[in-house]
Structure 1
Amino acid sequence: MKGLLFTLVLGLLAAGQGDVIDASQFTGKWLTHFIAADNIDKITEGAPFHIFMRYIEFDEENGTIHFHFYIKKNGECIEKYVSGLKKENIYVIDYAGHNEFQVISGDENTLITHNLNVDEDGSETEMVGLFGLSDDVDPNREDEFKNAVREKGIPEENILNFIYNDNCPRE
């Protein structure tokens, strides 16, 4: 266990130096806690990024990423599966336009991500997400998420809490 933790810490330190993160260590079940967007209309109910994550698979060997999540429309949970390809340290995904998805940081319990979406009209939206394994997240990780939100120029009032209204199926 100590060896795994040491490897994770080294990986995060390398990520902080601008090196490539081996995201495969973050493959697994995740729940959406918070998403922030500079265009809040992209993350409100009925919008394409009002997502309730269930599983992310980072396949470093094949350079792919797979998402399993739900979106809510009119209060109904709709299951979605989306895949993308890795190009350098960014995953490119076609979903509600063109997306460039990347891991900012992570540990054994939380994952902080950034997504740049360019929709069909050419409008860009910056998003930062915080995902966790359970319904609770370490306050330090929540602070790190809020710092990432500020770094991307997203107003803090554009942070939406997803975990409290997540009633979609959890496999």
Structure 2
Amino acid sequence: MKILFLSLVLVLVCAAQETPAEIDPSKVVGQWRTIYAAADNKEKIVEGGPLRCYNRQIECINNCEQLSLSFYIKSDGTCQFFSEVLQRQEGGVYFIEFEGKIYLQIIHVTDNILVFYYENDDGEKITKVTEGSAKGTSFTPEEFQKYQQLNNERGIPNENIENIIKTDDCPP
């Protein structure tokens, strides 16, 4: 009887585990602007920080087996354009070498907002980062609340949220 009970508990626990949702390519594709970023190591995303990205365009290739990202990084006040193709790995994680190794995942996408979570390994420290992008120039209060929840789930303090759109003066 105990084995039957333990088996039932195990099945229920496994069923309760949230499996990563498949990416809907139709929602990912398009022009996106970074609205917010947050990191457990905030110095990486402050203005002038190496991971403060200004997203522009995201494309899915081969049903999102690859992601094409176009974005800017500011260095000494100058916008530098980057266009990178990331290959999908096991578990829906994408890999890119940029400021070290970055393992990126789309953790939330709707018609209007898209949230990336990534871990940056610069060889000395692993930094957890979220980036919230929108098709417009802001989040609704509900979208911002969802963004905060996603940070909480990943151990990123909400006091480390940076308003990225306020300093985005890079070309469209």
TM band (smaller chain): 0.7 to 0.9
Q: 1:45 to 1:19 in 2, by over 3 A?
A: closer
Task: Write the mapping of 1:38-49 to structure 2, written as runs, cut at 5 A.
Answer: 38-49=40-51
Q: Is the 8 A contact 1:23 1:60 kept in 2?
A: no
The counterpart of 1:102, out of the listed 105, 109, 133, is: 105
Which residue in the other structure is 2:23 paired with?
A: 22
Measure how far apart 1:106 and its partner are. 1.0
TM-score (norm 1): 0.83
Give the unaligned 5+ runs of structure 1. Answer: 1-15
Measure the CA separation in 2 of the matches of 1:51 and 1:82: 13
**Residue 39 of structure 2 corresponds to residue 34 of structure 1:** no
Q: 1:158 to 1:40 in 2, by over 3 A?
A: same
Which residue in the other structure is 2:129 paired with?
A: 127
Task: Write the mapping of 1:16-165 to structure 2, written as runs, cut at 5 A.
Answer: 17-25=18-26, 26-61=28-63, 63-88=65-90, 89-119=92-122, 121-165=123-167
Measure how far apart 1:155 and its partner are. 1.5
SS in 1 for 2:58: strand
Measure the CA separation in 2 of the matches of 1:99 and 1:107: 23
Out of 153-162 and 41-50, give the one that drifted further. 41-50
TM-score (norm 2): 0.83
The one-letter code sitting in structure 1 at the alignment partner of 2:98 is: Y
Q: Is the 8 A contact 1:22 1:60 kept in 2?
A: no
Give the unaligned 5+ runs of structure 2. Answer: 1-16
Q: Is the 8 A contact 1:34 1:131 kept in 2?
A: yes
Q: 1:156 to 1:68 in 2, by over 3 A?
A: same
Measure the CA separation in 1 of the matches of 2:33 and 2:87: 22
Q: Is the 8 A contact 2:130 2:151 kept in 1?
A: yes
Measure the CA separation in 2 of the matches of 1:24 and 1:86: 13
Q: Is the 8 A contact 2:23 2:64 kept in 1?
A: no
Measure how far apart 1:36 and its partner are. 0.2
Q: Deviations over 1:14-47 (max 9, x none)?
A: xx94144124221111000000000111112222
The one-letter code sitting in structure 2 at the alignment partner of 1:70 is: Y
Q: How many residues align?
A: 154
Measure the CA separation in 2 of the matches of 1:110 and 1:117: 22
